Chains A and B, each alone.
Chain A
Amino acid sequence: MNAPKPPPHQAYDAAFPPLEKYETMLGEAEAIHGISLWQDAWRRLRRDWVSMTSLGFLLLLGLLAIITPLLPLQSFKEQDLKRRQFLPPTLSSQIEEPIPVEAEGDVPETETRRVSLAITQFPTDSDEFRRRYGEIWENPNLLDQAMIRARLTIFGDWCLPSLCGTDHLGRDMLSRLFWGARVSLIVGVVATLVSLLIGVSYGAISGYAGGWVDDAMMRAVDVMYSVPFIFVVLFLISILSDDTVKTRLADYGIDRMVILYLVIGAIYWLTMARVVRGQIISLKNEQFVDAARTIGARGGRIVFLHLVPNVLSVVIVYLTLTIPAVMLFEAFLSFLGLGVEPPNVSWGQLANDGLKVITPIRIYWWLVVFPAIALAATLYSLNFLGDGLRDALDPRMKNR
């Protein structure tokens, strides 16, 4: 009966499973990979071919917009009223140019010449070079300059034919579409980011503060919902583009584009603020917030470092649905002549230019159809991607 007592260390050995078991357990634990919300969503999004096609298209579009200076496009602003007005889409990069031959009768001889910017034949510091260089691009920044140089070394004088025709001033539609893509996309993205910044901060602060602060802030949003902002915006932009005001603003580095970003951003944040507030209210009594508070985190830190990252999925879905709305709004402003200013172009402005020359006599279809296709395809993709993301990030769909 009296079994000899095991030495103390052996008692521990008996009480605990052997070391190998821990090792296998550790191995098992390592083999299991947790799936985060984002991985799960990405897995689901990948299976949805509509969303993936949209995503691919948007990425391609963004890439093309960035490397536009590298592409052998014609000048987007060089006008040619004599020879190239309303040319229909063509595959040939040759144009007929009448060259005045020494008078042999009155009929001018014509001779075929290549469309070319003919820039490489001038020394880089000559005025002629600067003039033609300036026609390729408007205010190029350093990266653009590098790309234009690379383009000139790769393609030399050669440039693409007017695949999409030319407009009423003889400018090449294709290069205007590319240039417009840069402007339209950047307005859409930056203005949405501005609205995001305002909406998320406003909603998060309001939801986290609660009490009368929340009440007051949300009442203010309610009031603003009933304000026809479009009119205030039109009004604001028309006033701010007054010449005297414009020069004053230009001193602060504010031009039409910056005004557009701020003004459009300032009216699209209302829904964002409401959505974020709702989410924050449902999250702010969770334990991780209490934990953060016990170790002494302040309100601002809790809101922006702990709570806001948790509502990101909602924010991203809303973002993809706001960008098309903003791009439409920019098109609308451009239509009214209050959008981006020449020589900048945007798709909305191109479509508007096309609409202006619709007459019963001749229909220059390429001036309406190509901008419309560009705009519609982008907005389509953004809408589809937004819907797909919403489904993919829906927690009810988890692990399905």
Chain B
Amino acid sequence: MIEFLVKRFFWLLLTLWIVYTFSFFLMWKVAPEGANLSERKFPPEIQANLDRYYGLDKPLIERYFLQFGKALTLDFGPSMKLMDLHSSQLIRQGLPISISLGALALSFAMLLGFSTGIVSALWRQSLLDVGFRLLATLGIAVPNFVLAGFAIILFVFILKWFPAAGWGRPIDLVLPALCLAAPFAAYIARLTRTGMLEVLGQDYIRTAYAKGLMPRVVVLRHAFRGAILPVVSYLGPATAGILTGSLVLERIFFIPGLGTHFIEAITQKDHPVSLAVVMIYTLLLFTMNTLVDLSYGLIDPRVKLNK
């Protein structure tokens, strides 16, 4: 266990370093001025000051080592577009919002996916099962921004259940999180259904029934645990998908999260901010993948982490 974590930590460092180096050289090579390239022409003295402030006066290689050293202390430098705002300030603002949106979406996805999946498997070929499966395929096939559009028309404008786009109250998170969760809920439901069907036919389930356990206990304690392994391995890609999806949904619902900052930063070539956000997302994704691998061992005792 400890050995596994240490190894993973080493890989994390390597991954972060590769991503940092690749992004750094890519962004500064292709757009060397960054966001300083503006329509306004500054007098040369001011331009020189600006260049010095952002470290643009030094050669690229030297800057790489300087900024990499700073990045090790989690300092990615000041934003080039939003004056007087440091990239870490932006992250401190946006990250909690994005994380709560993502976590809420992931919980919705698991809640909806597991419950519909189990119901589908227990009452196989019933009307409920067919209905859920059709819905699940719909969830997979429709892009989440289209879904968000329909949801806004239906729930905000016609039914008036939710407030229109905004930020501040917890209720503002619910609709975006639901839209974000939909495709993943659909996928989890499908995986759970297949897994449950496979497990429910096995001998140990019959034994559990035979010794007189309540159906609820058999399904939730015995069968469910055996059925969710494929779902757990899907959670890694799902996290990546949720990070991606939140870019879109933050934009539709005007949520000031990390995704919004990132899109703004890349379209305006605000290199320090986009670099910082890329690193944060790499860290999140890697952590989630590691957690998924760890939880294999908890769910299925047969899995050994160090082959």
Contact = CB atoms under 8 A, between A and B. Distances in A.
Interface in A297-356: 324, 328, 331-332, 335-337, 348, 351-352, 354-355
A370 to B, nearest CB: 11
Given A232-B22, A380-B141, A372 B150 contact: yes
Nearest to B16: A226
A235 B27 contact: yes
B267 A238 contact: yes
Contacts of B27: 235, 239
Contacts of A354: 149
Given A223-B14, A336-B251, A363-B153, A328 B143 contact: yes
Contact of B274 (A235, A332, A383): A235
A223 B15 contact: yes
Given A223-B11, A226-B285, A235-B278, A368 B149 contact: yes
B145 A352 contact: yes
Interface string B139-162: 011110110111011001100000
Given A226-B286, A360-B157, A231 B141 contact: no
B53 to A, nearest CB: 23
Majority secondary structure, B binding face: helix
Interface in A70-95: none
Interface in A353-400: 354-355, 358, 360, 363, 365, 368, 371-372, 375-376, 379-380, 383-384
B174 interface: no
A254 B205 CA distance: 59
B141 A379 contact: yes
Interface residues of B, number: 49
B18 interface: yes
A251 interface: no
A160 interface: no
B241 to A, nearest CB: 9
B125 interface: no
Given A227-B285, A365-B153, A383-B141, 10 more contacts: A223-B18, A226-B285, A228-B285, A231-B262, A231-B274, A242-B30, A332-B244, A351-B143, A372-B146, A372-B149
22 contacts: A225-B236, A226-B286, A227-B285, A228-B244, A231-B274, A232-B22, A232-B23, A234-B263, A238-B267, A239-B26, A331-B145, A335-B145, A351-B145, A355-B149, A365-B153, A368-B150, A372-B149, A375-B146, A376-B138, A376-B141, A376-B146, A384-B137
